[in-house]
Amino acid sequence: MALIAFTSCSTVPPGYGGVVIKKYGSEKGVQKVALGVGSYWLGPNESMEKYPTHQVNYTFTQDKSEGSNANEEFTFQTNEGMECATDLGIAMHYDFALIPQMYQKYLKGEDEIRGTVVRNSIRNYLNKVAGGMPVESVYGKGKSTLIDSVQLLVKKELDATGIIIEKIYLIGSIRIPESVKQSLDSKVKATQDAQKIENDVRATKAKAEQAIAKAEGDAKALLTIAEAQAKANKLISQSITPVLVNYKAIEKWKGELPTYSGGGAIPFINIK
């Protein structure tokens, strides 16, 4: 009964790893081997910290109904000194073999590591990367580059300690001052309007070129027909001789002489 009174049982559930900390004695300090799934009796001078070795997700947002009941959004500045804010989500886990060394380094539990170590690393690199980018890029198409760069740097820093960052992702849009947002939105709209006008000009020009091409084609077709007709007329005129004309006249003559006739009257019968 005395032993039970001074000891307690702690369980490491599936998907977790534990580390025992001895508060005093010859072996005081962090034990070097991580504990797997199972139940363990702890002495009065021992405690245990547990860390998930499976993927867990957490969101840092300004919404107090998500994550914690405090505003956990990230704030940072662009290269113009423009103040921005954003909500981020993370997917992470802990390297089972490195749990004792990690605890020895930070001396913090899971919630504290996530809320301080991980958060501070993200905030630090967020400011560093965004500090070299204009607000227009951060708010627009460059935001994915910003988040990817931060993820790469945070992962490089923390993975070696046993804190494995699997993914950092943007939740919603990056928030900037409303006046700046309106200015950027107007600029984007102006660019879109200019692009539309340019496209309309291209379309009009294409239609005009098409009409010109058609007109040129029709003209060439008419010219070809006229040239063909002229050649035909020339050939016909060259083939017509007085003998042929007289022959054709005789072919159509019904044997009746005209009542009146003059020079060159048809039919003209050459008596000779």
CATH number for position 152: 3.30.479.30
Do 185 and 264 have their domain in common? no
Q: What is the pLDDT along the chain (272 residues), one digit of tens a residue?
A: 555 544 678 999 999 999 999 988 777 889 999 999 999 999 888 999 999 999 999 999 998 877 778 899 999 999 988 899 999 999 999 999 999 999 999 999 999 999 999 999 999 999 999 999 998 888 888 999 999 999 999 999 999 999 999 999 999 989 987 766 666 566 555 556 666 677 767 777 888 788 888 888 888 888 888 888 888 777 777 777 777 777 777 777 776 766 665 555 555 555 55
In a domain, 235, yes or no: no
82: nearest Cα among 148, 143, 136: 136
Whether the CB-CB separation of 21 and 49 falls below 8 Å is answered with yes
pTM, 2 dp: 0.65
**For position 153, what pLDDT does the model report?**
97
Dihedral sign computed on CA atoms, order 105, 108, 114, 117: negative
Q: Which residues form the domain of 191?
A: 178-230
In a domain, 184, yes or no: yes
Do 150 and 66 have their domain in common? yes
Do 64 and 139 have their domain in common? yes
Q: Is the backbone peptide bond immediately before 267 cis, with ω within 30 degrees of 0?
A: yes
**For position 260, what pLDDT does the model report?**
60
Do 95 and 192 have their domain in common? no
The dihedrals phi and psi of 38, each to the nearest 5 degrees, come to: 150, 180
**For position 88, what pLDDT does the model report?**
96
34: nearest Cα among 18, 57, 48: 18
In a domain, 43, yes or no: yes
Do 132 and 163 have their domain in common? yes
In a domain, 92, yes or no: yes
Do 166 and 70 have their domain in common? yes
CB atoms within 10 A of CB 174: 22
Q: How many domains does the chain have?
A: 4
Do 62 and 89 have their domain in common? yes
**For position 238, what pLDDT does the model report?**
73
